[in-house]
Amino acid sequence: MRAWYRRAASVGRRLGRFTAQIGTASVTTPDPSAAPLRPRPRHASAAGTRRRVHVNPGLPVLVIGAVMLLIVTMLGIERMTGLSLLPDRFIAGLVPPPKDFPLLTASEPVSIEINKIDLAAPVHNVGIAPDGSIAAPPAERAQEAGWYDQGPTPGQYGPAVIVGHVDTTSGPAVFHHLRELRAGDHVEVARSDGSVAVFEVDRTDRYDKEQLPADEVFGDFSRPQLRLITCGGRWVGGQTGYADNVVVFASLVEAR
């Protein structure tokens, strides 16, 4: 939940800076000696000729109100048309979940099934690697997926993370066809309590391993989520292996 609150606070800070900028304009009063003297208006103060500038305190409020109205209008258009009009980072935490969803109690995953790519595999636990990243399943279990046991279980609020190899020296591994998943495909995760969490794919993206958007992948606690992660892109060898990560983003839509 901390990452979600950080995004909401970031939006607040941006609006705060915007308010400060429109409310701090300065006004320079002309030097009376630089122009011919004119008759003083009857309502002017006898103490001098300095004019007072009255700033309307309602102007900043009106401008901010107009901006917020524009944002709300654009959000409404997005929901009706499905078009993306606002940057994801700007509206993170403001957009309600797109549809109703169930919510499950904690229960570790035991298997994963994805009919679209003919995948059915056991799931075991993985922790943190010595370098601080999520540990990959051992090579001898390359046909199994690994659930990151420091995060939510599938069906709880937040992103449950399941990783797997794309291939080995002897051939394809468990997540070899993961990159073929598209929005609307279903992923079923069987859990140790006997229930099955059904996720619907939102999108499949590929990122350079050095530029993986950690907050986007691991920080969305707006609803029960699933992240499937494997390697992809070109082979560079060494400790890196493949240059990229393939990430499937999915949301819980059913439980049975």
Q: Are residues 86 and 121 in the same domain?
A: no
Q: Are residues 85 and 116 in the same domain?
A: no
Contacts of 67 (CB under 8 A, 6+ apart): 15, 18
Q: Are residues 83 and 164 in the same domain?
A: no
CATH number at residue 237: 2.40.260.10
Q: Are residues 174 and 66 in the same domain?
A: no
173 lies in which domain range?
Answer: 109-255
User: Residues 43-58: pLDDT tens digits?
Assistant: 444 344 444 434 444 5
Q: Are residues 160 and 212 in the same domain?
A: yes
Contacts of 61 (CB under 8 A, 6+ apart): none
Q: How many domains does the chain have?
A: 2
CB atoms within 10 A of CB 162: 26
Give the pLDDT of the chain (256 residues) as one tens digit per residue. Answer: 343 334 333 333 332 222 222 233 333 334 444 444 444 444 444 344 444 434 444 555 566 666 667 766 766 665 555 455 555 544 444 545 455 789 999 999 999 999 999 999 999 999 998 888 899 899 999 999 999 999 999 999 999 999 999 999 899 999 999 999 999 999 999 999 999 999 999 999 999 998 999 999 999 999 999 999 999 998 988 877 899 999 999 999 999 9
Q: Are residues 190 and 226 in the same domain?
A: yes
- Residue 49, in any domain of the structure: no
Q: Are residues 85 and 164 in the same domain?
A: no
Closest CA to 98 of 227, 219, 256, 251: 251
What is the value of pTM for the model shown? 0.63
Tell me which H or E stretch contains 250.
strand 241-255
- Residue 97, in any domain of the structure: no
The letter for the amino acid at 223 is: R
* Tokens matching residue 158: 């937040």
